[in-house]
Amino acid sequence: MTAPLLEVKDLHTQFFTDDGVVHAVDGISFDLHEGESLGIVGESGSGKSMTALSIMGLVPEPGRVTRGEIRLRGHDMVRMRPEDVREIRGRDIAMIFQDPLSSLNPVLKNGFQIEEAMLAHRHLSRKQTGARAVELLKKVRVPAPAERVRDYPHQLSGGMRQRTMIAMGLANEPAILIADEPTTALDVTVQAQILELLRDLNQELNTSIIMITHNLGVVAGLCSRVIVMYAGQIVEQGPVEEIFGRPQHPYTWALLRSVPRVDAIQHERLRSIEGLPPDLISPPTGCRFHPRCPFRVDRCFRDEPPLETTSAGHTAACWVTMNRAYEEMGAGELLDVRPGAASGVHGAGARQVG
């Protein structure tokens, strides 16, 4: 395999608050290859968004990257001068956010906002950028793009605004597009269209995508590789089929079983994860998931498990791993029916449980 486009090594991002130091991102490492579509999943507070902001050099006060490297094509962005990072941001790495309304400037026309991204990094005339803005809107499938560039953000629907944001992100043909919950604020039918667009852009333009989301379904459809984060750390990563088909970390396993599925057996009970995510100022000792883990052993209370390879390209940070949990600890019985496993939408064998 060629050298990775982006290498994150032992990244620590901390927030220095009055209550103490919040370890938002706590020593994570991963690679992103050219043209890859990588999903980072986790719940609120897992550190997934802070990972993205750290890569962008946009960690808000009172936080900062305290340790580690973020290498883009070999160059460490953490140790770069701020003006050099600014050059990279928007040109090589672009980011789109959850709420397109608050990310767009309400008093500037859509077209100009897309042009601005180009003007910041390239020597182009307004005529050239204007034409390209229309082209970009066309590419993200905005109808009547020549008219939309003259509109203001409030004149667009949520889906169209997010498309405008994506057009802006693509303005300088970045190598990496980071999407932080880009569809969370949108209706499902619109979400499906945006995801389809991102999938096509990933394939057509060979843009690498980092998709940050809490929605496992979104990742399953878009990404080839998945990172699962819990309490600021990576607990598992691997190819999408592995993560969904043979999850090895109990958190991933439990999360998958707790997702409401449209193809589930009707009235099947959801299997929730008991307890709450930990406090990131003083996280639990040992494995951070141990207070909520059904398969913990003594060691989990004391020692922090490292990420270890469980199969080709698949790593998990767990002393037990689900393979062992199935064999020795009766995980299969706890499971009884994997949500959706025996159903399909036809609801074969549907049970009515009140």
Q: Under the rule (CB under 8 A), what is the footprint of another protein?
A: 43-44, 143, 157, 159-160, 187-189, 191-193, 195-196, 214-221, 240-241, 244-245, 254-256, 258-264, 266-274, 276-277, 340-348, 350-354
> In the numeric block, which tokens belong to residue 348?
């074969």
Q: CA-CA distance, 17 to 121, in Å (whole number)? A: 35
In the bound state with another protein, the residue whose beta carbon lies nearer, of 8 and 40, is 40
- CB nearer to another protein: give 56 or 287: 287
Q: Write the DSSP symbol of residue 294.
A: T
- CB-nearer residue toward another protein: 135 or 196: 196
Provide the token pair at 349: 């064998």
Minimum CB separation of residue 141 from another protein in Å reads 11
Give the angle subtended at the CA of 162 by the CAs of 160 and 167, to the nearest 5°. Answer: 90
For 206, other C-beta atoms within 10 Å of its C-beta total 12
Give whichever of 120 and 337 is closer to another protein, judged by the CB atom.
337
Structure tokens at 278: 């930990």
CB 218 → another protein: shortest distance, Å? 5
Cross-strand partners of 238: 226
Between 84 and 241, CB nearer to another protein: 241
Element (H or E) spanning 145, and its range? helix 145-148
Taking only Cα atoms into account, the Rg of the chain, rounded to an integer number of angstroms, comes to 22
Task: Look up residue 295 and give its DSSP letter.
Answer: T
Residues facing residue 38 across a β-bridge: 210, 225
Report d(CA 190, CA 21) in Å as an integer. Answer: 39
Residue 111 burial class via C-beta count within 10 angstroms: exposed 0-12, middle 13-18, buried 19 and up: buried
Minimum separation from the CB atom of position 261 to another protein (A): 6
Handedness of CA 156, 158, 162, 165 (dihedral sign): positive
Query: Smallest distance from the beta carbon of 187 to another protein, in angstroms?
Result: 4
Q: Directed axis angle between helix 110-121 and helix 158-170, to 10°?
A: 20
Between CA 155 and CA 140 the distance in angstroms is 17
- Nearer to another protein (CB atom), residue 20 or residue 306: 20
Question: Considering beta carbons, is residue 23 or 292 the nearer one to another protein?
Answer: 292
Q: Which is nearer to another protein, 67 or 338 (CB)?
A: 338
Least separation in angstroms between CB 226 and another protein = 9
Closest contact distance (angstroms) between CB of 188 and another protein is: 4
User: Please, which residue, 230 or 319, has the CB nearer to another protein?
Assistant: 230
Burial of 179 (0-12, 13-18, 19+ CB in 10 A): buried
Q: Which two tokens stand for residue 245?
A: 């088909």
Beta carbon nearer to another protein, 118 or 211: 211
Token pair, residue 31, equals 């690679």
Find the shortest distance in angstroms from Cβ 200 to another protein: 12
- For residue 291, the 8-state DSSP code is G
User: Nearest approach, Cβ of 267 to another protein (angstroms)?
Assistant: 7
Rounded least distance, CB 61 to another protein, Å? 23
DSSP-assigned letter for residue 143? S
Q: Please report how close the Cβ of residue 53 comes to another protein at its closest, in angstroms.
A: 20
In which residue are the tokens 């074969």 written?
348
